[in-house]
Amino acid sequence: MIKIKANVIGIKKPIEVKKTVDKEDKADEMVIKLAELEEKAAKAESDTDDKKEITEEEQTREYLEAVKANRKQREEIFDWLKYMLDLTSKQIEKARQSVDMEELGAYIFYVASRFQGMSDEDLDLEHKKQEAAGNVDPKKG
């Protein structure tokens, strides 16, 4: 059993869950998915610089596709959290109302890392290293 801090998602007490092989696999899948999304976003940003003039209709279509993709990703993330932490629908609704996207991303990384074997102490140390390197805003830690 592992304890997962849940105050970020509006749950005061830590959640204790069994670390099953399936949940470890799901944690790995989420880390891979997030890395791919980050890579895709970086590529899209660089592609934007290279794009020629596009019509307003094309811009609208691309924008709508991006909004739909973002909504789908959020749904998948909350479904993942529900499964990983054995949360109820009510707890997921509270989580949705408690976090912004930046906090959600950091929390997903935290949960996945815990299932991959990192302790809270390991994660705190890594966070402090990132702060010292100037890669993290210490106020958002």
- Any domain includes 135: yes
| Structure tokens given for 101 | 């996207």
Q: What is the dihedral of CA 98, 31, 24, 81, to 10 degrees?
A: 20
Q: Model's pTM, two decimal places?
A: 0.78
Quote the domain boundaries for residue 105.
Answer: 2-47+64-140
For position 134, what pLDDT does the model report?
Answer: 73
- Tell me if 57 is assigned to some domain: no
pLDDT at position 11 is 93
Q: Which mean pLDDT values do the consecutive 10-residue runs of the chain (141 residues) have?
A: 93 94 94 86 67 78 88 93 96 94 91 90 79 62 50
What is the per-residue pLDDT for 4? 95
From the centroid of its chain, how far is CA 3?
Answer: 18
